[in-house]
Amino acid sequence: MRQEHLSSRVSSNDDERTLLQNVRHPDWRNPEPIDRYNLAIIGAGPAGMLTALSAARVGAKVALIERDRFGGTCLNVGCISSKAIIRTSRLYAEMRNAENFGAQVPTGISVEFSAVMERMRRVRARIGRRISAQRLSSMGVDVYFGEARFAGPEAIVVEGKRLRFKRALVASGARPALPAIPGIAKAGYLTNESVFDLTECPRRLLVLGGGPLGCELAQAFCRLGSQVSIVQNDPMFLGNEERDAAQILSDALARDGIGIHLNTEASNVRTEGNQKLVDLVSDDYKFTVAVDEILVGIGSAPNVEGMNLEAAGVQYDKEAGIPTNEYLQTTNPRIYAAGDVCSEHKFPHIEAAAAHLVVHNALFWGRERLSALPIPWCTYTDPEIAHVGVYVTEARAKGIPVKTFTVMMHDVDRAVTDGEDEGFVKIHVREGTDKILGATVAASHAGEMITELSLAMNAGIGLRALARVNHPYPTQAQAIKMAADAYLDTRRTPARKWLYKQWLAW
Ligand SMILES: Cc1cc2nc3c(=O)[nH]c(=O)nc-3n(C[C@H](O)[C@H](O)[C@H](O)COP(=O)(O)OP(=O)(O)OC[C@H]3O[C@@H](n4cnc5c(N)ncnc54)[C@H](O)[C@@H]3O)c2cc1C
């Protein structure tokens, strides 16, 4: 269980106070419930808030219940906080590399960690203004603060008030999964719920877990001055990604100076003075690293406890969360679930798609399916690794014939001028057609570039049409057009070439 709610921490500066005013106003008074809500939502993270907003926009009577802070993990201890410090860490990496760009910066750049964290809090407070309880309330959503519990299949109780509903959405999110490593609890460790409260940069940091969270924060802290090691129990980082993308990331982390331990597990932790000694095992090789802090990023556990889901007839699993069908209905078809409490892919923009779907399906008898949407995602390391649609291995396992068009970033002019020529764009099409099935981009701005491919997949646009899209020159996204051009080249069969030759003989 989460040991403390975020708002119980003392806010130590103006930005934190501004954030709290918006995401959990200290004087908030819950409204009186109306007779029956069209939609009652548990959790005001991205999934709950976006659904509440969409439902209110179409005129539905909506109740939104939050036990802690508006914005959930994403705003308070996830995407926003991490991206803010990643931005600063990239800047430091660029400054250290300035000479390669013909620029001079003073030697011995020193990082002022507290200023980095202050900026992060400023950014968080600014974004928090858009995500305020007051704003949602002014848009017609009844906002309740307190722990929500089902009191049967048609009612939720919060702070002694009974909210009756026609439809409900459980968007209670997830919390960091805790490691079962002997000694680690006693020695103490950080998770995403505490790492953004640090006021000093740990001199030596061990990151447990080589997924997106572990890789992003390992690189960021390394660039901010920590001596970082990362431990991953798989043979590569980012378990699901294409091997060559994961390899590019591994090389990049090693170049930054991060100690990389793949195929490795932590078996024990103990303290010695102020330091933590972590025993690591890789096959038969055992060794110990001494660090000042351990950051755990080994996945998440769904928030399913305490809501009395049994009373509502909603089945759940403590590890896998709430099972839903493709329309996001739980085992009680009038109750939906969305976001990290149930999703396989845990990203807020999936929550945006899910919000639209829940409103459509729950309030208007729609039959939209989440699986019908191509969903892109990105790991914001340097270079970034982004993906949409199927992986080659997945397609092959399903017996779908695939052809891949690859462009290396070192062949893309803008990537070369920017000194960001590492990586590739890979687009997979169904063999013999130009239909895009999936794509992986490993590049400095992969997160921006994948959107074009996502749009193409969403709109059913193939590589033939993409080849005709003019891209401003020079841009890194031109790699996508180059891949599309490569597809066109394959359409120029010897017979067609012969015909062109005859025609042009005049
Ligand atoms: C470090 C980190 C970085 C990340 N970076 C990215 C990124 O760059 N891009 C990206 O796409 N994703 C990122 N993510 C993932 C993203 O944050 C989550 O996918 C997203 O926050 C999930 O939204 P949600 O609404 O499902 O749940 P949450 O954001 O967890 O919100 C759930 C809310 O429900 C409330 N709640 C729970 N139980 C109850 C109850 N009984 N009563 C009332 N309220 C309740 C909680 O307090 C919480 O506010 C990151 C995550 C982390 C940890």
Confidence of residue 31 (pLDDT cuts 50, 70, 90): very high
Could you tell me the CA-to-CA distances from 406 to 429, 483, 485 in Å, in that order? Answer: 11, 6, 11
Residue nearest to atom 30 of ligand 1 (CA): 173
State how far the Cα of 343 lies from the Cα of 371, in Å rounded to an integer.
Answer: 11
CA atoms within 13 Å, Cβ hemisphere of 501: 7
- CA of 223 from ligand 1 middle (Å) equals 26
Q: Would you say how long the chain is, in residues? A: 506
Using a 6 Å cutoff on CB, does residue 211 contact ligand 1? no
Helix (H) or strand (E) run with residue 275 in it: strand 275-282
Q: Give residue 74 CA to ligand 1 midpoint distance, Å.
A: 5
The residue whose CB lies within 8 Å of the most ligand 1 atoms, and thus the one to mutate among 1, 8, 54, 73, is 73
CA of 443 to the centre of ligand 1 (A): 27
State pTM to two decimals: 0.93
pLDDT at 449: 98
Task: State whether the beta carbon of 51 lies less than 6 angstroms from ligand 1.
Answer: no
DSSP three-state, residue 452: helix
96 by Cβ neighbours in 10 Å (0-12 / 13-18 / 19+) ranks as middle
Does residue 79 line the site of ligand 1, with CB under 6 A?
A: yes
Per-residue pLDDT tens digits for 256-299: 999 999 999 999 999 999 999 999 999 889 999 999 999 999 99
- Structural contact between residues 20 and 26, judged by C-beta atoms closer than 8 angstroms: yes
What's the 3-state SS for 138-204?
A: HCCEEEEECCEEECCCCEEEECCEEEEEEEEEECCCEEECCCCCCCHHHHCCECCCCHHHCCCCCCE
**Candidate of 20, 79, 192, 219 to mutate for ligand 1, largest count of ligand atoms within 8 Å of Cβ:** 79
Does the beta carbon of 74 sit less than 6 angstroms from any atom of ligand 1? yes
Q: Is the pLDDT of residue 485 over 70?
A: yes
> Distance of alpha carbon 146 from its chain centroid, rounded?
26
User: Is the CA virtual torsion 234, 240, 243, 244 positive or negative?
Assistant: negative
Query: Mean pLDDT throughout 407-422?
Result: 98
148 lines ligand 1 (CB under 6 A): yes
CA of 348 to the centre of ligand 1 (A): 8
Q: Tell me what pLDDT residue 346 has.
A: 60
Whether ligand 1 lies within 6 angstroms of the CB of 44 is answered as yes
Q: Is 147 in the pocket of ligand 1 (CB under 6 A)?
A: yes
For residue 15, what pLDDT is reported? 86
Query: What radius of gyration, in Å, describes the C-alpha atoms of the chain?
Result: 25
Question: Rounded to the nearest 10 degrees, how much is the dihedral formed by the CA atoms of 341, 344, 346, 351?
Answer: -70
Whether residue 72 has its Cβ less than 6 Å from ligand 1: yes
The enclosing H or E element of 436 equals strand 436-443
Cα–Cα–Cα angle for 239, 196, 67, nearest 5°? Answer: 90
Paired strand residues for 163: 156
Residue 3 has what pLDDT? 41
Would you state the pLDDT for residue 13? 77
Predicted local confidence at residue 9, as pLDDT: 47
| pLDDT value, residue 189 | 98
pLDDT tens-digit readout, 143-178: 999 999 999 999 999 999 999 999 999 999 999 999
Helix (H, G, I), strand (E, B) or coil at 498: helix
The mean-pLDDT minimum among 95-104, 318-327, 345-354, 477-486 falls in 345-354
Nearest CA to ligand 1 atom 35: 43
Confidence (pLDDT) at 369: 83
How many angstroms does the Cα of residue 174 sit away from the middle of ligand 1?
A: 6
3-state class of 429 per DSSP? strand
Distance 369 CA to ligand 1 centre (A): 22
Helix (H, G, I), strand (E, B) or coil at 285: strand
Return the residue whose CA atom lies nearest to atom 15 of ligand 1: 347
User: 193-246: per-residue pLDDT in tens?
Assistant: 999 999 999 999 999 999 999 999 999 999 999 999 999 999 999 998 999 999
**E strands in 340-423:** 377-379, 384-389, 402-408
Non-local CB neighbours of 86 within 8 Å, separated by 6+ positions: 216, 219, 220, 380
What pLDDT score does 291 carry? 98
CA of 173 to the centre of ligand 1 (A): 5
Measured from the CB, is residue 333 less than 6 Å from ligand 1?
Answer: no
Mean pLDDT across the stretch 349-376?
82
Report the nearest atom of ligand 1 relative to the CA of 176.
Answer: 53
Q: Helices 212-223 and 243-256 meet at what angle, rounded to 10?
A: 20
Rounded to whole angstroms, the Cα distance separating 26 from 200 reads 29
CB-ligand 1 contact for 209 (6 Å cutoff)? no
